[in-house]
């Protein structure tokens, strides 16, 4: 009696199955095609999110360093900043550079640390901590020599791979109190 080697036929059968699935005239599975499209879209969205987050980190690095080098690579020439100081009269990228210069003049040791970051669609959000010592003027406001340590949130909207719009909120009242420019809650105002 002759016996077959079962293990010898398994690779042959597997080869037939694989060849049969990819042979000529075989219609692609619509569910698999849709799945592949969704994976490509997810990859593109992930790449966009990563690019936006890298751009935000670059913006913060520029602000922290005081050098405006490379800002034009991550900010649109006509960026709209909804938090720009009213004494900065320039707009767009030049307005952002002037605002950054004002911050660095007022706080030469300025540091903005990203505590959290999230991206949804064309917007990237950061929660940050800002520290520095006010040793220079802020516009018409003279230096106080006092330290600031506040939290805030920045929102960046992207278009064509660059930051096109910015909104920001921080603990301004706390900052003014730390600088001695307004009384702490519950304190009496200082008499002049």
Q: What is the CATH number of the domain that holds 109?
A: 3.10.450.50
Q: Are strands 123-133 and 111-120 parallel, antiparallel or unpaired?
A: antiparallel
Task: Please state the pTM of the whole predicted model.
Answer: 0.77
Half-sphere exposure of 143 (CA within 13 A, CB side): 15
Please count the structural domains in the chain.
1
Note the pLDDT tens digit of each residue in 117-128. 999 999 999 999
- Does the structure show a pLDDT above 80 at 153? yes
- Domain presence at residue 174: yes
Question: In whole numbers, what is the pLDDT of the chain averaged over residues?
Answer: 87
- Domain presence at residue 3: no
Domain with 83 in it: 35-178
- Domain presence at residue 19: no
Please report the pLDDT score of residue 35 as a whole number. Answer: 66
Please report the pLDDT score of residue 9 as a whole number. Answer: 55
CB 146 within 8 A of CB 179: yes
Q: How far is CA 111 from CA 3, 129, 151, in A?
A: 79, 8, 12
- Domain presence at residue 127: yes
Closest CA to 111 of 150, 155, 71: 150
Note the pLDDT tens digit of each residue in 52-92. 999 999 999 999 998 999 999 999 999 999 999 999 999 99
Note the pLDDT tens digit of each residue in 6-19. 555 555 555 445 55
- Does the structure show a pLDDT above 60 at 187? yes
Please report the pLDDT score of residue 127 as a whole number. Answer: 98
- Domain presence at residue 109: yes
Closest CA to 169 of 94, 74, 82, 56: 82
Please report the pLDDT score of residue 191 as a whole number. Answer: 75
- Does the structure show a pLDDT above 90 at 23? no
Please report the pLDDT score of residue 1 as a whole number. Answer: 47
């Amino acid at each position: 009696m002759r016996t077959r080697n079962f293990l010898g036929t398994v690779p042959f059968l597997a080869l037939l199955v694989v060849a049969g699935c990819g042979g000529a005239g075989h219609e692609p599975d619509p569910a698999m095609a849709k799945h592949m499209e969704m994976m490509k879209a997810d990859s593109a969205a992930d790449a966009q999110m990563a690019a936006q987050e890298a751009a935000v980190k670059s913006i913060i690095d520029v602000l922290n360093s005081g050098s405006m080098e490379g800002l034009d690579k991550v900010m649109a020439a006509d960026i709209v900043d909804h938090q720009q100081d009213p004494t900065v009269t320039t707009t767009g990228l030049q307005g952002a550079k002037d605002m950054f210069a004002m911050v660095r003049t007022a706080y030469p040791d300025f540091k903005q640390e990203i505590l959290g970051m999230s991206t949804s669609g064309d917007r990237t959000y950061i929660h940050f901590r800002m520290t520095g010592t006010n040793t220079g003027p802020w516009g018409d406001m003279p230096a106080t020599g006092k330290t600031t340590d506040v939290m805030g949130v920045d929102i960046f909207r992207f278009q064509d791979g660059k930051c096109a719009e910015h909104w920001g909120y921080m603990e301004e009242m706390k900052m003014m109190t730390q600088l001695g420019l307004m009384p702490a809650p519950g304190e009496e105002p200082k008499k002049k």
